[in-house]
Amino acid sequence: MKKLSMHEALNQALREEMHRDERVVLLGEEIGKYNGVHYVTRGLYAEFGKERVIDTPISEESFTGVGVGLAIMGMRPVVEMMRMDFSLRAMDQIYNHMAKIRYMSGGRLSVPMVLRGPEGPGPNPGLTAQHGQQLTVLFAHCPGLRVVSPSNQYDAKGMLKAAIRSDDPVVFLEPGPLNNKQGDVGEDDYLVPLDRGEVKHEGSDVTLIGYGASVALCLQAARDLEHDGVSAEVVDMRCLRPLDMGPALASVAKTNRAVVAEYAWQSYGPGAEIVARLMAEAFWNLDAPVTRVSGQEVPLPYAANLEELSKPQVADIVAQAKATLR
């Protein structure tokens, strides 16, 4: 194991996959000589050249479409969004082509591509309303896509490698708040499944469920609850389409209580889907209603103090967990 930041872990995954498979090419804005705004592609242009690390115009729809075409023709493109907010400019390509070409062609064509980039607030305040949104639900809602959101550096590397090798189109959502955080990453060639959640912390009294950056909040909440004699289990959903409910359902069967936490707005979001499935599939195991902690339903403020207030807080997860125990 080696301590790496999130962007260093992703960089390592890209480098290893580009060495392993010459079909892997990268496309995106300023990912070449500039090394990428978030340094995920640092050093790759110098190592692999302009034919495989392709700087694109500021036109998300066009270079996402180029990625779709390359994938159909047998390449393994990895398309970077500088921020996932900018994917809104490319939704026609994502929804109507990336997700549906296999279906529309009767299975004759595949789109083995990865659309990746950071989403949600950054590690530092100030991204504002059009750069720090959590748009997970837009991708998870669409059949034909795989949608994943790693919560730590180890998973990020293994899941990106698995995404590049997948024959399905994968939307890879990187947790913005964790971009500069350090964590253990394996230096060997390992894969993390794209269709399985995982228990990140064992407990017996209440289940805390998150995905992406909110898992870190749940883990801190579990540590805080332990000081008050409450044993919390933390489940990382990790994969949002397909949504693996197995670990969450098994955990709720043990604890009989659940809190779902996410950075996204609460209404109609991934958390709502998780709660709905818990109520349908684990109703008789629940001793209290499933509760939720989410981002405030406002555009992300610019002012640092207001941005902090708009984000989900560890204290709120702790309070909701205790409420389920009453």
Say what angle helices 153-165 and 6-20 make with each other, to 10 degrees. 30
* Contact indicator for 263, 212 with CB cutoff of 8 Å: yes
pLDDT at residue 124, as a whole number = 87
* pLDDT given for residue 123 in this prediction: 86
Predicted confidence at residue 141, as pLDDT, reads 97
**2-185 against 198-324: fold identical:** yes
pTM (whole model) above 0.85: yes
Is the N-terminal amide bond of 193 cis, ω within 30° of 0? no
Q: Where are the domains of the chain?
A: 2-185, 198-324
Q: What is the CATH number of domain 198-324?
A: 3.40.50.920
* Residue 276 to residue 292: CA distance in whole angstroms: 12
Helix, strand, coil shares of the chain as percentages rounded to 5? 40, 20, 40
What are the pLDDT digits (tens) for 85-140? 999 999 999 999 999 999 999 999 999 999 999 999 988 888 989 999 999 999 99
Rounded CA separation 112/280 (Å):
33
Query: What is the phi-psi region of residue 323: left when phi exceeds 0, alpha when psi lies from -120 to 50, beta otherwise?
Result: alpha
Residue 131 falls in the annotated catalytic set? yes
Active site residue 60: yes
CATH of domain 2-185: 3.40.50.970
The catalytic position among 8, 16, 17, 60 is: 60
DSSP track, 196-217: --EEEE--SSEEEEE-TTHHHH
Q: How far apart are CA 313 and CA 127, in angstroms?
A: 18
Catalytic residue among 7, 38, 97, 131: 131
